[in-house]
Amino acid sequence: MTATEFQVNEVFDIAARGGLVVVGAVRPGEFVGVPSLYDKATGNPIRVLGVDHPTPRTTRTGETILVVDRADADYAKSGRLWTTNPAPGGT
């Protein structure tokens, strides 16, 4: 089975939100429900709290918005790659 990947494009820490707002691209396909994701480089689990509503921008670009636990801020950086495959390196 092919792993689905999430490329982190932007991260926003909005104090009123329950976690970090992470905007990125999903490939291939899309998520159904709240995904279980892992940092592809380290295998560290990413605590996804929810999938946010699309905005006009994300509808236009095809991006997805995730809300992620602030404890995972070290992995929520532009350019990071997260995967549904739990093995380090995404094997």
Paired strand residues for 46? 37
Is residue 9 within 8 A of residue 76, CB to CB? The reply is: no
Paired strand residues for 9? none
Percent of the chain with pLDDT over 70: 95
pLDDT of 91? 47
pLDDT of 71? 97
pLDDT of 43? 94
Burial of 2 (0-12, 13-18, 19+ CB in 10 A): exposed
Q: 36-57 burial, b for 16+ CB within 10 Å, e for fewer? A: ebbbbeeebebebbebeeeeee
